[in-house]
Structure 1
């Protein structure tokens, strides 16, 4: 593990990052004048003559990769029609977005109707692939609206994610983001895939990634998540954190801060400039402000138990979930006990009516 202290984007915001060995050599590099200036590009001067000539060159139209931005009820994304995955997905959450009656049970993974068939992925691409359908904008961030939750199940918001990573570490990161709404009035999140070069035995670096299904859906080597949390009541003070996480199983004892990198590093590998309207010199390091502590895995397991209890379809299934929990040595709190008793009563009444 290597501690790194660098200026974020060369703008004066000091970020003390900790980068695990899988990124050393790729994300850790000195800030040079050239690198600093590269993040501060200027748009070319408008030249009417060049534009006129360009229109002649593009007589039959410019190559088109689809709309740059696609808007949904509570997320915005840019879609990669070649890789059949999002390039990035942005969302904004507050306490209000996390409360409501919207349920995953009423949502289904399906093709995004705004994506042409030719450029879309399909559920069949994931079947038997060994990868899960990983949300970039999580369903759990949209309890306030069934429509908003349903739209997170569009495959335009999904990418092939390691099953264990999706269920455990990435899930813990998403829970952490939701927890930030207890400390900050507004939390802005951008998530997406990365394909990071790896050095081969011959000493050369290569970009390699698997594809799945008939649609050749690209499997990213890593995922990124950028978080900007602010308190409107405290003069718009913003805390920012950028993280790069390998798309593979991650040990339960790992913490989010171990995967913190500089925002500039995510920009370098993604090709996007993020948070352009943010004054980086005034932003704080999220992990300095908050600690970036993830929920312990035993608590995560209890949360999973609660979801399984609430979704149990029969008393036998309900009792199995409860017994499995006890066999693992997990200790339920009063909330879980109440969920179990409530669901048991509902199922017993339903089963009694079915026998009459």
Structure 2
């Protein structure tokens, strides 16, 4: 083979090797950046499996995905996103913000026993202040004056008492994105507070509890005028959704609130237990048992427009909605 041909062949082989190596390292660098993005961005996290399957061309095991599974976001959203509208990630909870109503669609928390107890570490809600989240565009943001003299409490969705491990965690629950107008006496200060205490008791007993909280705007039957009924020759009642708004930013006052609670078993490989509650945003008798407000999760999904547990079958859960608390502690390990 002539010397020139040998040189050209070596040059082509060398160039090809450098090209392949460059592509390989660029690919790995891209995967590393994607890996970091998935840990921080909820939308990338949501489609992470498709991204990894599509982009890991050289070595599907070149990245340790345990970092993703160990990130706080992945821990909180273990059972999937109920919806993907305007996701906002805070240090110890995640929410979907409703720009039209100026409250959250839902707020998700992963509660752990040490963080719901009074540990003496100095974390307290007395150090926190209600404040608007300035990352929300001003024309969609609720502000403190919206609640002033409204007659409603600034009700937490992710309760401050659920986040006692770090002062920052507690402080962030006072962002108005996590707040909704709630009736004070009889609801926020009583029945709803009792439900929050119950969730913390479950957490202390079982160690790991997932809770999703949000507002509902339930339709109600509207009786037709007698004259209208006669003219239309029908007796069918109309249904409508009516709710109050407060402040210059027209913050919506939900008609009801829901909680979906997922309790993880202490047994290795044990199935979780799920409960769902719907409470009307109105005064409730102090003697009312919170278990009177157990609800079918499908009703919450239908009215709130959400989907829980990312398509998991209900049979995945050990049980749902025991009518009495002792049944839970007796039957669920």
The reply on whether 1:188 has 2:210 as its aligned counterpart is yes
CA contact (8 A) 2:276 2:321 kept: no
Secondary structure at the counterpart of residue 308 of structure 2:
coil
Instruction: Pick the aligned partner of 2:285 from 243, 247, 251.
Output: 251
Structure 2 gap ranges (5+): 1-83, 225-236, 328-333
Secondary structure at the counterpart of residue 136 of structure 2:
coil
Displacement after TM superposition at 1:143 (Å): 0.9
Instruction: Pick the aligned partner of 1:262 from 296, 300, 304.
Output: 296
The reply on whether 1:126 has 2:147 as its aligned counterpart is yes
Residue matched to 1:205:
239
Per mean C-alpha deviation after superposition, the further-off stretch among 199-208 and 167-176 is 199-208
Residue matched to 1:157:
178
Instruction: Pick the aligned partner of 1:89 from 107, 114, 117.
Output: 107
Measured at CA, do residues 290 and 213 of structure 1 come closer, stay the same or move farther in structure 2, by a change above 3 Å? Answer: same
Displacement after TM superposition at 1:233 (Å): 3.1
Residue matched to 1:238:
272
Instruction: Pick the aligned partner of 1:220 from 254, 257, 265.
Output: 254
CA contact (8 A) 1:209 1:220 kept: yes
Secondary structure at the counterpart of residue 244 of structure 1:
strand
Residue matched to 1:171:
193
The structure whose residues are more often helix, as a share, is 2
CA contact (8 A) 1:126 1:133 kept: yes
Secondary structure at the counterpart of residue 96 of structure 1:
helix
Residue matched to 1:117:
138
CA contact (8 A) 1:224 1:266 kept: yes
CA contact (8 A) 1:91 1:188 kept: yes
- Cα deviation code 1:175-196 (max 9, x no counterpart): 0000002321210000000000
Secondary structure at the counterpart of residue 322 of structure 2:
helix
Instruction: Pick the aligned partner of 2:127 from 81, 100, 106.
Output: 106
Secondary structure at the counterpart of residue 149 of structure 2:
coil
Instruction: Pick the aligned partner of 1:284 from 311, 314, 318.
Output: 318
Instruction: Pick the aligned partner of 1:74 from 67, 72, 92.
Output: 92
How large is the RMSD of aligned CA atoms in angstroms?
1.8
Measure the CA separation in 2 of the matches of 1:292 and 1:136. 26
Secondary structure at the counterpart of residue 254 of structure 2:
coil
The structure whose residues are more often strand, as a share, is 1
- Cα deviation code 1:87-140 (max 9, x no counterpart): 000001011212442111110000012211111101100111100000000000
Secondary structure at the counterpart of residue 183 of structure 1:
helix
TM-score by length of 2: 0.65
Q: Which has the larger radius of gyration?
A: 2
Number of matched residues?
228
Measured at CA, do residues 91 and 292 of structure 1 come closer, stay the same or move farther in structure 2, by a change above 3 Å? Answer: farther
Measure the CA separation in 1 of the matches of 2:269 and 2:323. 16
Instruction: Pick the aligned partner of 2:308 from 274, 280, 283.
Output: 274
Measure the CA separation in 2 of the matches of 1:244 and 1:119. 27
Displacement after TM superposition at 1:69 (Å): 1.3
Measure the CA separation in 2 of the matches of 1:76 and 1:246. 24
Measure the CA separation in 2 of the matches of 1:275 and 1:175. 24
